[in-house]
């Protein structure tokens, strides 16, 4: 758990980023963590709603007092409609 008082916002963001990467429940390296006071903003993409919820869980456990805005998106698994011509 990150120390909440007297810790610089970028350090707290770094600790949360590490937690999301190293916690086996998430193992997400592709989530951007931005701290603003006692708020944290999460962005990036994951492959399912379940994984988005797991990110919430890990962040809340690491910093229970934070207000979390989870803007992580679910990446599309749709067939492509076009193709690029490589020249």
Residues that bind another protein (CB under 8 A): 24, 27, 29-30, 32, 44-48, 50-51, 75-80, 82-87
CB of 8 to another protein, least distance (A): 16
What does the DSSP 8-state code read for residue 4? -
Q: Which is nearer to another protein, 6 or 79 (CB)?
A: 79
CB of 65 to another protein, least distance (A): 26
CB of 44 to another protein, least distance (A): 7
Q: At a CB cut-off of 8 Å and minimum separation 6, what does 59 contact?
A: 16, 19, 20, 33, 40, 42, 66, 68, 70
- Greatest Cα-to-Cα distance within the chain, rounded to the nearest angstrom: 56
């Amino acid at each position: 758990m990150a120390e909440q008082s007297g810790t610089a916002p970028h350090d707290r963001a770094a600790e949360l980023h590490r937690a999301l990467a190293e916690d086996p429940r998430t193992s997400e390296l592709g989530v951007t963590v931005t701290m603003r006071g006692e708020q944290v903003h999460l962005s990036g993409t994951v492959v399912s709603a379940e994984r988005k919820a797991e990110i919430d869980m890990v962040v809340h456990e690491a910093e229970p007092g934070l207000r979390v805005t989870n803007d992580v998106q679910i990446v599309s698994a749709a067939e492509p409609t076009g193709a690029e011509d490589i020249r």
